[in-house]
A and B are shown apart, each in its own frame.
Chain A
Amino acid sequence: MSGDDEQWNDSNRAFLQALMARSTLTLDEAKPLLAAIQTTYERRETIAEDITEADLNAHIAAANTRISPFDFEIRSTYHQTTRKRVYALVNSSSDPIIQLATIHTAEEISFLKRVLDAMFETYNTSRNEVMAITSMQAVRLHKAPDRGRRDTQDGAATQGSTAQGLKMIEAEKMLRTLVDEGWFETSNKGYYTLSPRALMELRGWLIETYNDVDDDDDDDGERPPRIKQCVACKEIVTVGQRCSKRSCHCRLHDICVQNFFRMQRSNGCPVCKTEWTGDSFVGERAAPRRSGAGSNANTSRITVDDPDQNNDPDEIDR
């Protein structure tokens, strides 16, 4: 079973390597890529405009057949804001966080987990479903939480297993690395969000991790899941719109709204029938505005909030 066959030859391998070398691929990027591969492999001039979405999909289908035994899969999703379709090679079986551990240190992974917890717990309250984090908020999580640790800070004689956290500068660097590796994206306003690729790769993990409601939780059940899916496309919503009724779990991507209500022929929430006003948001637009703060007026007065208060889990549920 060696060598080339009709379905799998060096042009396919070149495509696969090209895909693995990038964190994501769009059709616009795939066109010149596949044209270059065909030109070289078939010794026949092909221009980017000749490449169709069907060509790309044929390549992807062939690749998926070959790579699935290794628990890899090329998936695609729509970017939540640009609506561009994005393809990426993702790990289909194992815990992606553990995968990341092959590249990063345990301390870096712990920091990443703290940042994810902040995105999906601390800054994802029923009032403010931000699901994003500013770099300042993230860097503040550089240290491992104190709870459960004895005073090991000073003196190098700490047990090997004790989490020390990262230095602030290391945390900043890790954030940049996560952007470079294609896990995070940054918005114009400086918020970090999960990239489409991360959402594809982490979707199972996110749902498993953050929607895992403790059965005998003190509050009377019925807590909405922290990770919610778009009623139109079923993908996770981290940027989009929400039903104006706060207790309703219905969410829609901005890019899905128009089509959805046209198809539905009414602009009521599909779950609770409340009118869909389109001005309740998920994402950085849901971040609370500082009362009365002009954009530059009192920057010098901005106080540092107490991270411990923010971490209060009770805050999450109003």
Chain B
Amino acid sequence: MPLIRKRRSQQAEPSPSPPPTRRRPSPAASDASSVDGAYDGGAALDGETQGAGSSHEQMVKKLVRLALASEYSRQPIRRADITTKVMAPHTGRQFKGVFEEANHQLRSTFGCQMTELPQKEKITVSQKRAAQRSQTQNTLSSSNKSYILTSTIPPALRAPNILPPASVPTSASESAYTGLYTFILSLIYLSPGRTIPESRLEKHLKRMNADNYVLSGEKTEKVLKRMEKEGYIVKVRERDGGGEESVDYVVGPRGKAEVGEVGIAGCVRKVFGKVGMEREELEKRLVRSLGEGVEMKNRPDEGGEAEVEVQADGAGASEGEAEGGGRRRRSTRASNSTPKTPATRKRGRNAMVDEEAEGDEDEEEEEDDQGESGDE
């Protein structure tokens, strides 16, 4: 603790280092321009002024920070972003070196690494079939590439009592979300041809009472859209010869990279939790459906494959159990803090109709007007 103490008292000095954006203390000055400018430029991730900014080391550091920040918001790390936010001008050829060194630092310090996301396949009848057979990605220009962070520490050290589901960006509903996409991915992975017709998915959701609303109170439809947007699943519409339209779901690029066969196998093991003979039978069937990569003994402790146990346990969470310590606290806090949510939502919707609506009368006993004189 002495270490922290000391650092803190140093911090107590009013200005450890001048922040890049200074603003006049007038409310009107709080426009977005300063943020905008910095955000678009490479300065976004580096508070210091240039100088060593273009050195190899600085670029590695920026990339590490970009990768961690992106993962925090569950956004892929785009190659294009790396180019604009990390690489100094005219250093394009150093990309590979910077990338590899950043990944090395991520692994050795943070226990994770950037893993390339499979490109979203263009899906037509035939391509879909082909895609199911081979895991190969279509070659696309490198500027379209994107990455996510996957953990490189042993799965056992990522059990839910150690690593709770990401608490950002959506907090309490996050573990429910993780559970639901893992569940849906399992359905897809274990369906013939790794495709599930929409109607069948709906039936499954109905069975777990999630056909209209999921646990967090969001509309199922909206949640599925989010999964699509984030690349967990892909919705495929096609017309057969007779003009009949069919809608199917297949596994999306993020679903593959973040969950994948191994994650699904872990989920299924958790859910069925068989022992002895049954366990063997289960394992056989898992290998049959998901390939040899998921066999317990074939699992290396480390490696590129992403989330296993964590995701699997998210599935449990979707059935209503909260996760371990910190998680639970946060969930409670979130629900405590939003008892008004339904009302607020309604108000918000009205507000859409009449933006300036002074519909605040129904805002019970707001103590207000602090800015006004308020005699004591």
Q: Do A and B come from one complex?
A: yes
Give the interface of A toward B (CB within 8 A). Answer: 1-3, 8, 10-11, 13-14, 16-18, 20-23, 25, 28-29, 32-33, 36-37, 40-41, 53, 57, 60-61, 64, 66-67, 69-71, 73-77, 93-95, 97-99, 101-103, 106-107, 109-110, 113-114, 117-118, 121-123, 125, 127-128, 130, 134-137, 144-145, 147-148, 161, 163, 167-169, 172, 176-177, 179-182, 186, 189-190, 203-205, 207-214, 226, 229, 234, 287-291, 295-296, 299-300, 302, 304-305, 309-313, 315
If A17-B163, A180-B170, A207-B15 touch, whether A106 touches B325 (CB-CB below 8 Å) is no
User: Is A168 a contact partner of B35 (Cβ separation < 8 A)?
Assistant: no
**Shortest beta-carbon distance from B357 to chain A in Å:** 9
User: Is A25 a contact partner of B326 (Cβ separation < 8 A)?
Assistant: yes
User: Is B360 a contact partner of A136 (Cβ separation < 8 A)?
Assistant: yes
Q: How far is the CA of A144 from the CA of B28 in the complex (A)?
A: 9
Provide the B142-161 mask, 1 if CB < 8 A to any CB of A, else 0: 00000000010110111101
- In the complex, what residues of A have CB within 8 A of residue B169's CB? 103, 177, 180-181
**Shortest beta-carbon distance from B7 to chain A in Å:** 7
**Shortest beta-carbon distance from B370 to chain A in Å:** 5
Q: How far is the CA of A313 from the CA of B36 in the complex (A)?
A: 25
**Shortest beta-carbon distance from B32 to chain A in Å:** 4
Q: How far is the CA of A102 from the CA of B44 in the complex (A)?
A: 8
In B22-70, which residues have CB < 8 Å from any A CB? 22-28, 30-33, 35-36, 38-39, 43-48, 61, 64-66, 68-70
B11 at the interface (CB under 8 A from A): yes
If A1-B108, A123-B371, A212-B25 touch, whether A106 touches B39 (CB-CB below 8 Å) is yes
**Shortest beta-carbon distance from B102 to chain A in Å:** 10
- In the complex, what residues of A have CB within 8 A of residue B161's CB? 32-33, 36
- In the complex, what residues of A have CB within 8 A of residue B368's CB? 134, 136-137, 290, 302, 305
Which of A14, A57, A125, A163 has a CB less than 8 Å from the CB of B158? A14
- In the complex, what residues of B have CB within 8 A of residue A61's CB? 3-4
If A134-B366, A309-B371 touch, whether A234 touches B355 (CB-CB below 8 Å) is no
User: Is B360 a contact partner of A106 (Cβ separation < 8 A)?
Assistant: no
- List 13 additional contacts besides A122-B370, A148-B31; criterion CB under 8 Å: A10-B111, A14-B158, A17-B111, A17-B151, A17-B163, A18-B164, A29-B325, A33-B326, A75-B7, A94-B19, A103-B69, A181-B168, A310-B372
User: Is B109 a contact partner of A10 (Cβ separation < 8 A)?
Assistant: no
B240 at the interface (CB under 8 A from A): no
Q: How far is the CA of A74 from the CA of B164 in the complex (A)?
A: 19
User: Is B22 a contact partner of A209 (Cβ separation < 8 A)?
Assistant: yes
B297 at the interface (CB under 8 A from A): no
CB<8 Å pairs between A and B, sample of 9: A13-B111, A37-B157, A60-B3, A70-B65, A110-B30, A169-B352, A180-B330, A209-B25, A290-B367
Give the interface of B toward A (CB within 8 A). Answer: 1, 3-4, 7-9, 11-12, 14-28, 30-33, 35-36, 38-39, 43-48, 61, 64-66, 68-70, 72-73, 75, 104-105, 107-112, 151, 153-154, 156-159, 161-172, 324-327, 329-330, 333-334, 336-338, 344-345, 347-349, 351-352, 355, 358, 360-361, 363-376
Which of A8, A21, A102, A315 has a CB less than 8 Å from the CB of B166? A21
User: Is A205 a contact partner of B364 (Cβ separation < 8 A)?
Assistant: no
Can you list the 4 inter-chain pairs with the closest CB atoms, starting with the nearest?
A: A288-B374, A94-B47, A13-B111, A180-B171
**Residue in A closest to B161 when the chains form the complex, CB atoms:** A36
User: Is B360 a contact partner of A110 (Cβ separation < 8 A)?
Assistant: no
- In the complex, what residues of B have CB within 8 A of residue A97's CB? 21, 35
**Shortest beta-carbon distance from B56 to chain A in Å:** 14
Which of A40, A101, A113, A312 has a CB less than 8 Å from the CB of B30? A113
Q: How far is the CA of A218 from the CA of B361 in the complex (A)?
A: 39
Q: How far is the CA of A114 from the CA of B31 in the complex (A)?
A: 9
Q: How far is the CA of A208 from the CA of B21 in the complex (A)?
A: 10
User: Is B32 a contact partner of A302 (Cβ separation < 8 A)?
Assistant: no
User: Is B104 a contact partner of A208 (Cβ separation < 8 A)?
Assistant: no
Q: How far is the CA of A290 from the CA of B365 in the complex (A)?
A: 10
- In the complex, what residues of B have CB within 8 A of residue A130's CB? 370
If A64-B3, A136-B368, A309-B371 touch, whether A106 touches B36 (CB-CB below 8 Å) is yes
User: Is A95 a contact partner of B20 (Cβ separation < 8 A)?
Assistant: yes
Which of A32, A102, A127, A289 has a CB less than 8 Å from the CB of B325? A32
Which of B69, B163, B171, B363 has a CB less than 8 Å from the CB of A14? B163
**Shortest beta-carbon distance from A10 to chain B in Å:** 5
Q: How far is the CA of A72 from the CA of B249 in the complex (A)?
A: 41
User: Is A37 a contact partner of B31 (Cβ separation < 8 A)?
Assistant: no
**Residue in A closest to B170 when the chains form the complex, CB atoms:** A180
User: Is A305 a contact partner of B372 (Cβ separation < 8 A)?
Assistant: yes
**Residue in B closest to A164 when the chains form the complex, CB atoms:** B32
If A98-B44, A128-B370, A287-B367 touch, whether A18 touches B3 (CB-CB below 8 Å) is no
Q: How far is the CA of A209 from the CA of B290 in the complex (A)?
A: 56
Which of A33, A69, A214, A229 has a CB less than 8 Å from the CB of B162? A33
Which of A37, A70, A95, A204 has a CB less than 8 Å from the CB of B109? A70
User: Is A114 a contact partner of B27 (Cβ separation < 8 A)?
Assistant: yes
User: Is A172 a contact partner of B61 (Cβ separation < 8 A)?
Assistant: no
User: Is A167 a contact partner of B352 (Cβ separation < 8 A)?
Assistant: yes
User: Is B33 a contact partner of A161 (Cβ separation < 8 A)?
Assistant: yes
If A20-B68, A180-B334, A288-B370 touch, whether A313 touches B15 (CB-CB below 8 Å) is no
Q: How far is the CA of A310 from the CA of B166 in the complex (A)?
A: 38
Which of B26, B32, B38, B46 has a CB less than 8 Å from the CB of A107? B32
**Shortest beta-carbon distance from B195 to chain A in Å:** 33
User: Is B3 a contact partner of A110 (Cβ separation < 8 A)?
Assistant: no
**Shortest beta-carbon distance from B33 to chain A in Å:** 7
Q: How far is the CA of A60 from the CA of B8 in the complex (A)?
A: 14
If A22-B326, A110-B30, A208-B15 touch, whether A179 touches B337 (CB-CB below 8 Å) is yes
- In the complex, what residues of B have CB within 8 A of residue A20's CB? 68, 72, 110
**Shortest beta-carbon distance from A212 to chain B in Å:** 6
Q: How far is the CA of A314 from the CA of B168 in the complex (A)?
A: 39
**Shortest beta-carbon distance from B317 to chain A in Å:** 14
Which of A41, A71, A209, A287 has a CB less than 8 Å from the CB of B23? A209
User: Is A304 a contact partner of B4 (Cβ separation < 8 A)?
Assistant: no
Q: How far is the CA of A37 from the CA of B371 in the complex (A)?
A: 50
Which of B21, B165, B372 has a CB less than 8 Å from the CB of A288? B372
